[in-house]
Chain A
Amino acid sequence: MNKLLLSVLCLLAVFAAAVPCLADTVNGVLAEERVVNLPQDQGKWYVSVVGSATDARYDEIVGWFDSNASLKKLKNQVQFCTVTSDTAIYRERYAPNVKGLPTVRMQKADGTVVYEAAGKNIPMTAAGLNGALAGAVSTAQGIRPILPWRRDMERRCPGPCPTPQPNPQPQPDPEPQPIDDGGPPKIDDQPTEPPLWALALVCIAGVLVGMGGGYGKQLYAKLNPPVK
């Protein structure tokens, strides 16, 4: 009897091991763990390089996004779209709204255009384009960009910088004067109107005085009845 029970238990254990495999079967094929997660990149901005496939300038600009380290980094941070003028995507989505070819356009995730340059307005070098795009991003985010001439100061001047010897010597700067830059006006600490609590206090006092006066009148009338 014990042997029979033992064999039944063994059989159940074998079935238990097999059931999860059967449950994973889809369309008769055992599903494996090969599912790659979809990236959650819905907030990414878009950079489109649009042009003719036969235009050397278009190829050059597309190439910048691989050869220039900064643009390459940018390419990995955005949805990078190369669009040639012989495609349906170009005809339906770009032809009605580009000013010329090639075009470089940067858009926010909702489609807002942050930067766009076409034809000869596209910067002549990869570094120039990177600077223009960086400036546009800063403007869109409300950040004040670092001026281009300050950006590479350290690199250009690795050793001790030359010390200029002006002649005649400049006069010391005058004492700086405060500048009215149109900022918010200064507000006096002293309020011109009485505070609310004082107003409430006056009201309560008024009511009390009124009630007291009324009660006093009644009391006076009680103590001094009118002569009939």
Chain B
Amino acid sequence: MSQSGLKRLLLVLVLLVPFAGCETTLVTKPVKKEMPTVNVPQADRQSNWLGSQGQGSCVWATTISLLRWQGRYHTADWIRSNYGGGEWPEDHAAKLDTAGVRYAYVTDGDVRFLELACRTRRGAGITVMGGAHMVALVHLDARWAGILDNNRVEKIIWVPRETLIAEWKASYGWAVSPIYAPAAPLPQ
């Protein structure tokens, strides 16, 4: 190749350098990830209420919000009318069986359950405050956890992932998730 040819090639290469790595962004449309993953509409977020024994119904409020997110409006309404008050894992499970609800739960603080519940976009009810309260885990990624508290349903509370996991494990590590089709992701 002649010297002028080499010079031309070098010039082309120099001009191409600023465009290196741009190809993927031009060809592939980036997917916008929804935060939180389980983005329960404001109107579907069930607030806590006092049961017949004077106890809060945080477990049921959380269950109802997640059922609505999974399109089970009638089941959620039935639960709101028939159940309430404080719950323990076994009693809650027995009542869900009675209502014919499909669900999964753990009481051993297995973090994989939380990861899978959020990865499958279903969310999970998790115990906090030493087991005295239940909230909905609506997001869990490598850094952050999103919580929907039935005592303040207006806003999602964001806490560092490890803080949330430590809190959950110190609160009996109970997590429960209804198993139905979650609301479809926003169209891309």
Contact = CB atoms under 8 A, between A and B. Distances in A.
Given A28-B88, A40-B116, A89 B44 contact: yes
A46 B185 contact: yes
B174 interface: yes
B93 A38 contact: no
B18 interface: no
B177 A38 contact: yes
B106 interface: yes
B23 interface: no
Contacts of A110: 31, 185, 188
Contact of A34 (B93, B121, B174): B93
B100 to A, nearest CB: 14
Contact of B188 (A35, A83, A111): A111
Contacts, number: 109
Nearest to A90: B41
B15 interface: no
A124 B90 CA distance: 49
A37 B188 CA distance: 30
Interface in B40-58: 41-44
B90 A32 contact: yes
B120 A38 contact: yes
Interface in B160-179: 172, 174, 177, 179
B183 A89 contact: yes
Given A93-B183, A112-B188, A38 B31 contact: no
Interface in A97-145: 97, 105, 107, 109-113, 116
B85 interface: no
Closest 10 CB pairs of A and B: A111-B185, A88-B43, A88-B41, A79-B181, A46-B184, A111-B188, A29-B90, A92-B41, A26-B107, A27-B88
9 contacts: A26-B90, A35-B106, A36-B102, A40-B116, A48-B184, A91-B41, A97-B186, A97-B187, A105-B187
Given A48-B184, A89-B69, A111-B188, 20 more contacts: A26-B107, A26-B174, A31-B107, A35-B104, A35-B105, A36-B103, A36-B104, A38-B120, A39-B120, A41-B120, A42-B120, A46-B184, A81-B183, A89-B41, A92-B42, A93-B184, A110-B31, A111-B31, A111-B34, A111-B186
